[in-house]
Structure 1
């Protein structure tokens, strides 16, 4: 936990990469909390809530539904600036469409914590579980700490350059997410792999070669970098690989 908070606080560098930082947030959530997947949603100034990081393709598809439908626990946590616990019951009286989609994807509950610093709420940290019921109290407190650390780290970046605003940082994260998704699609098509494995290869290659994730994604799309067709580290980030897949009939 200490290492995670220190990592999230170490952002006052000239080459700060918002996209990579937000993916690290989700990875720390996976390591420290009793969850199956995690996602981060952020909103630029006066802009809509957007998904900027997710631990799997499965949760990404569920998360993308919320901003478009303007409903769901994550959307509510952001707009009410308060944590939300929700158990996916089908049929559900609250957020029925979101609950049905999440339940079909194998999720049984979700905890959403606002990413905020004092009065400034800039997004939501979304924690999906494959078991029903609220997130344990200890994990809720830790999720709050991770969300607060994320807000502080993003907001303190403005001290590096008076002309670089939070809105620019969040917009950069949104733009680079698009590039990363395009690179995932390219690898999925050309290497005949699933999107989670494609993303795992991108992250592993970027880390081992010490290059920015967004830069690598652009190079892959442009054809200037060719990732190896296979690797021994192709296991996507998940904590539920041993569990039975969701029942499609539900």
Structure 2
């Protein structure tokens, strides 16, 4: 049997899940993110894939994606967990933190959370510290010379992001921007603004559906969301369309195994 052309898998990271070889994972991620020239492009699903690839490829514990319409404030459009979602919503509400600064100044920002040195953003730092994070790296998403969002990378173990991971985070941010641009060219009537508006609107619908499933099945928000995404992928549905149907009552998802609820029709 021929030997594998790839080096052995990397050891697990204490900050996030491990995968196969780094080279293979990076290549697959960039190819997948570039594959947006399709008629049924789903912005909501795309941004969640960006967050997932950050988790898979970088030595981090959580990731989030923020976007902004022209001359409008940042909005959270994707996050890897409920814990980081709440921290990032707090950051946006407080209008302070590394992600907000990275967006305003169009430059990467590192922020260490150690509970000893006076924090640069006291309210955000206290909230992130309570959530168990030790540092944040924020990388702006730039479309040509315009900053349209930020990749937010949270670590749970001491130390800042390694230099190799900084470069890869920059590549993922660039791939995100380029993918949005090339998908826009598929239809001259569609614009980046329209894409961002769609992402922001569908984010609200997805959160409503997630809350509905959380309450109905008595589960946690992360489980509810992952089940919704799995159902959408299995049945080849757009995530936003499934979320609308759940909120409208058109589609009912069965409860998670072992919850004791009867299966939905």
Relative to the length of structure 2, the TM-score reads: 0.85
Which residue of structure 2 aligns with residue 123 of structure 1? Answer: 149
1:60 & 1:78 partners in 2: Cα distance? 18
Shift, 1:67, TM fit: 2.0
Shift, 1:231, TM fit: 4.5
Which residue of structure 2 aligns with residue 230 of structure 1? Answer: 256
2:237 & 2:102 partners in 1: Cα distance? 34
Which residue of structure 1 aligns with residue 138 of structure 2? Answer: 112
Which residue of structure 2 aligns with residue 49 of structure 1? Answer: 74
Q: CA RMSD in A?
A: 1.2
2:132 & 2:232 partners in 1: Cα distance? 30
Which residue of structure 2 aligns with residue 76 of structure 1? Answer: 101
Residue-pair matches, total: 232
Structure 2 unaligned runs (5+)? 1-25, 259-265
1:93 & 1:220 partners in 2: Cα distance? 42
Which residue of structure 1 aligns with residue 111 of structure 2? Answer: 86
Q: What does residue range 152-163 of structure 1 map to in structure 2 within 5 Å?
A: 152-163=178-189
Verify the 8 A CA contact 2:113 2:119 in the aligned structure 1: no
Structure 1 unaligned runs (5+)? 233-250
Shift, 1:93, TM fit: 2.8
1:229 & 1:181 partners in 2: Cα distance? 18
Shift, 1:158, TM fit: 2.1
Verify the 8 A CA contact 1:5 1:149 in the aligned structure 2: yes
1:48 & 1:164 partners in 2: Cα distance? 22
2:37 to 12, 16, 21: 12
Relative to the length of structure 1, the TM-score reads: 0.90
1:162 & 1:69 partners in 2: Cα distance? 37
Higher relative contact order (CA 8 A, sep 6+): 1
User: Is the partner of 1:124 in helix, strand or coil?
Assistant: strand
Shift, 1:157, TM fit: 2.2
Decide which structure has the larger Cα Rg and report it: 2
2:182 & 2:104 partners in 1: Cα distance? 22
